[in-house]
Chains A and B, each alone.
Chain A
Amino acid sequence: MNAENKLPKQVFRSVGTRPVRPDGVDKVTGRARYGADYDMPGQLVGRILRSPHPHATIKKIDITKAEQLPGVKAVITSKDLPDLTNGDEDLLAILENCMARKKAYYDGHAVAAVAAVDANTAKAALKLIEVEYKIHKHVTDVDKAADPKAPVLRKDCITEGVSPAPTKASNIAAQSEFGHGDVAKGFKQADHIVERNFRTEQTHQGYIEPHACVASVSPDGTGEMWVCTQGHFVFRQQCAQLLGLDMAKLRVTSSEIGGGFGGKTHLWLEPVAMALSRKANLPVKLVMTREDVFRASGPTSATSIDVKIGIKNDGTITAGEATLRYASGPWKGSWAALGAMTAFACYDLKNVKTTGIEVLVNRPKTTAYRAPSAPMAAFAVESVIDELADKIDMDAVQVRIKNAAGEGTQSSYGPVYGPIGIGPTLEAAASHPHMSAPLKENQGRGMACGFWFNFGGQSCTHINIDIDGSVTLTVGTIDVGGARASLSLVVAEEFGIDYEQVKTVIGDTSTLGYNEMTDGSRGTFASSMSAIASVRKAIDEMISRAAIMWDIPAEDIEWRDGHAHATGKGHANLAPLSIADIAARAGKTGGPIAGHTELNADGAGVSFATHICDVEVDPETGLTRVIRYTVIQDAGKAVHPTYVEGQFQGGATQGIGWALNEEYVYGEDGRLQNPGFLDYRIPVCSDLPMIDTQILEIPNPNHPYGIRGVGETSIVPPLAAIGNAVSNAFGVRMTHVPMSPPRILDALEKAETETA
C-alpha cells in the first residue's frame, strides 16, 4: 500500500473537522462501561495479598485457614500458576510479577490471592493467609543498585551486552550502545564542553481508573475476560499462554479504558483473576485499589544520567555523549536502551555515543509511560544544550535550529530521517509571541525539544456496509482518547460520505485478527491505514455490484463523493448510485458487502515537538508554578484537531507534574511512603494555566493521509523546558526532577553562596 501512496492526500472534506465523538454521549451520561463496571452472573470478588517486604524469600505460605473461612471459594499462590512460559524470559517476568514465586522483590509484590462471595469475606480471608518470609537487604536507589557493593537481587543476573561477559552477578542486567562518529575527536574540536549528572525520580502514569477485570475460566478449557487494557489481543495471547489455554478459546473484550498512558499495556492481575476463576469454577472480578496501583503496577524508571556535550563558538555541536542508568524494577527491561536511543534524536550530530544501563532495584516492575524513557534523557540533554547556549551567548532556540536534524540526517540511533518536523517546530517557536512576551520578577522562561519514534505494526480492520447504507468500522485497537472519532472521520473521508454515516467499534478478540496494542502512538496511524485499505476494498466491491445493477462493465464505473458514477459514452442516463442504493440490492447482487484488511503498518513517521514554558518561583517557599505554556508539535495530518490538541495538552500536563511534584518516595525500610493521590500529587486544575497549542502538519510520506502518531511526544520536553525556565530565572542549573519546593530552595541557596 505504501508504494501506491507516494504523495499523501492533500485536500480533505472530513479529516480535519471537529465533530462530537461517537462514544461521547455514553461518557457524559454515565453509561460507558469501564473495567470495574461490568458483572458476570455468579461472580466472586477477588483480593490480592501483597508482600510488605521489599526483598524477601518466601519460605512458606499456609492457606488452610483462609480456605476454611465460609464464603471463600478459592485461594491461590504461585503453585496455581505453574511456569508454562517455555523459556520466554519476558513472559516469565510477567508471571513472576503477577504472583511472586520464590522471592518477593518489592513492597507490594503479590504473594497470594483469594476469591470469595463478597469483599468483606475476601478481605477477612487475606488476613488468615500465613506467609513466612526470610528478609534480605534491599536497594531502591538506581545509583546505589548499580554499585558493585549493593545487595544483588538475582544471583543469576549477568550483564548482557558487554564482552567479555562479567563473571559475577550484579544488578546491571544489560548494557546497550548507540551512536556514530568519534566523540573523542569531536570533543577536541569543541570550544566549550559541559558535563553533568542529572537525576529524575520515579513517576506513575496516574490513570484515574485502577486496573480491573472480570475473568471466567470453565472446566472445558474455554475462558472469557472483560478488562481495561491498551491491548486485548496481547492480553489474550499472554493470559492463554500463562494459563495453558488455547488462544482461540479465550475471548477477551476490552472495556472502555479510564486512561493508560502505557500502564495498561502490561498484565498485572489478569492471570490471577483467571487462576482464581479456574479454581473456583465461577467468574471472578478483580479490581486494584489505588494503593495497589501505586505499589504494584508499573511506574516509569528512576534515572541517573551523565551527559557531556561539546560546542564551537559558532554554535555547532561537535560531540554528544551520555551514559544513562535506568531502574527497571526487579526484572530486566530495555528502558535505558530507549533513553539512549532518544537522547540526541533531535540533532544532526557528527559524533555521538550513548550507553544505556538497565539496573535492577527493589521497586515495582517498570513499564511504559508515554514516550517511555524519552523525557528523562531529554531533560539531561536539553538542559546541557541550554547551558552551552548561554556559554557562547547564543539564543537557546537558534542553537537548536543550527543543530537540528532534517531530512537525510543520520539519527543518533541509526536510521536516516525522512521529512521531519524538528526544524519547523523550532522556527515556529522562534516566531511565537510567547517567546517575546515580557516576564516579571521571579519569573523565567525556558524551552526544550522532544522526540518520539512512533510505532506502526500489526493491525486488522473490517468494514461492513449495512443495508441502509450506513457503515461500521471494526478495529482491534483500543480507543484511549478519541480514536473512534478520528477513525470514523478517515472512513467517511475515504468513502466520500458524512461522518454521521459511520460507526466505529472496537471488536473483541474473536471478531478480528491479531492487533498490537494501542501504544507507541500507533492506534490512529496503523488502524487508519488499515481502515483506508478496507474501505478501498469495499468500494471495489460496490463498483462490481453497481456493474451488475447497471449491467455495464466495472471499468466504466468510478467512485466519487460516496457514489458510484457511470462514466463514458452511453451511460449518461444512469443516475449515480449511493451506498444505500447498492447495499439495498446486495442480497440480489452477491450477498453482504464488506472490506477486510490485515497489514503491518510500516513507516510510522517520527515525531518532534518544541515547548515553551514560563514559570514563577516563590523564593520564600520554593513553590514553582507554570504560568504560561505553549506546545508546538508536528502531527503529520491532524485528523480531529481538537483531540490532537488534547493529546498535546494532556502530555504536557503530565510532564509538568513530573517536573514539579510527582515522585515515588521510599523509606529506609524499602516501603513506598506515598501510595495515594494525596501524597503522590498529580497536577490539579488550579495548578495550571491554559495550555496553548500549535499543530504543524508535515505529512508523513508513508501514510495515505500523511498521518503521524501524536500521543506521546508532548510529555518529552516539559521536564527540560521547566528546568531551563527555573535555571533562567535564577541562574542556577536544575539537575534533579521533580523540582519540588525543597529542591528549589536548596538550589537557590547554592546559587546565593556561589555568587556571594
Chain B
Amino acid sequence: MSMVVNSTINGDPIEFSCEPDETLMDALRNRVGLKGVKEGCGTGDCGACSIRLDGALVCSCLVLGAEAEGRKVDTVEGMSDGAQLHVLQTKFLEHAALQCGVCTPGFLIAAQALLEKNPTPSEEEIRYGLAGNLCRCTGYDKIVRAVQDAAKTMNKRSKSKKTTGRKK
C-alpha cells in the first residue's frame, strides 16, 4: 500500500506517494523525477545518491521515502541559483573534476555540505570529508583541486560581501 509524503524538495513543496519500504533514492528518482540522484550501489557505500536531508548529508539509498515527510530535501538539481551555477559546479567544470560524471552530483552535494561546515578545509580535511564518495575515473586529484579552488572563491566572495556590508 503506498503512502503519501509531503516534503520541501529543492525549496518547493512537493507531494509524492511511495511504498513504505521504498528508499528515498528510488522515490526521488522514480516518483519525483530527480534523476540527478544516482544509484551506484544501493547500500550506502558509494555516495552517488548523496542528498541533504534538513541540511544533513545522507545517502538517500539508506533513507526511506517516508522519512522525508515534513522535511527539507536538497539535491543537485537545486544547487544552482536560477541560471547562475553554484561556485562548486563552476569549479568542477573548470578543473575537469569529472570524467564520466556519474559520481559528480554526489560529490557536489558532499562538497557543499563540507564547505558549509568547514569553509577553509586543508587538503587532508577535503580528502576525509569526501571519503564517502567513490569516483572511479579521476583519481580524485582534480576533484580535490576543484573543491580547494571553490573554497577560496567562496571565501573571497563572502569577505567582499562583508566589507561592502560594513561600508553601507
* Residues of A in contact with B (beta carbons under 8 Å apart): 18, 20-21, 23-25, 27-34, 36-37, 120, 205-210, 256-261, 287, 289-290, 480-482, 642-643, 645-647, 649-650, 652-654, 676-678, 682-686, 688, 690-691
Contact = CB atoms under 8 A, between A and B. Distances in A.
B155 interface: no
Contacts of B100: 207-209, 256-260, 480-481
Interface in B113-157: 124, 126-128, 130-145
Contact of B99 (A18, A210, A481): A481
Contacts of A257: 100
A283 to B, nearest CB: 15
B136 A207 contact: yes
B93 to A, nearest CB: 4
Contacts of B126: 685
Dominant secondary structure at the A interface: loop
A217 to B, nearest CB: 23
B75 interface: yes
B76 interface: yes
A29 B144 contact: no
A28 B85 contact: yes
B140 A28 contact: no
A685 B143 contact: yes
B20 to A, nearest CB: 11
A690 B140 CA distance: 8
A37 B76 CA distance: 15
Interface residues of B, number: 56
9 contacts: A20-B94, A25-B93, A30-B76, A208-B102, A208-B103, A290-B46, A653-B138, A686-B130, A691-B139
B134 A677 contact: yes
Dominant secondary structure at the B interface: loop
Contacts of A287: 39
A736 B139 CA distance: 23
Interface of B: 19, 29, 34-43, 45-46, 48, 75-77, 79-80, 85, 89, 92-96, 98-105, 108, 124, 126-128, 130-145
A482 B93 contact: no
Given A29-B80, A677-B134, A688 B139 contact: yes
Contacts of A482: 96, 99
B98 A27 contact: yes
Given A209-B102, A646-B99, A29 B77 contact: yes
A409 B135 CA distance: 39
A258 B38 CA distance: 10
Given A24-B93, A28-B93, A208-B100, A685 B36 contact: no
Given A258-B102, A677-B45, A688-B140, A209 B40 contact: yes
Nearest to A24: B93
Contacts of B46: 208, 290, 677
Contacts of A643: 96, 99
Contacts of B95: 642
A290 B137 contact: no
Contact of A691 (B130, B133, B137, B141): B141
Contacts of A24: 93, 98
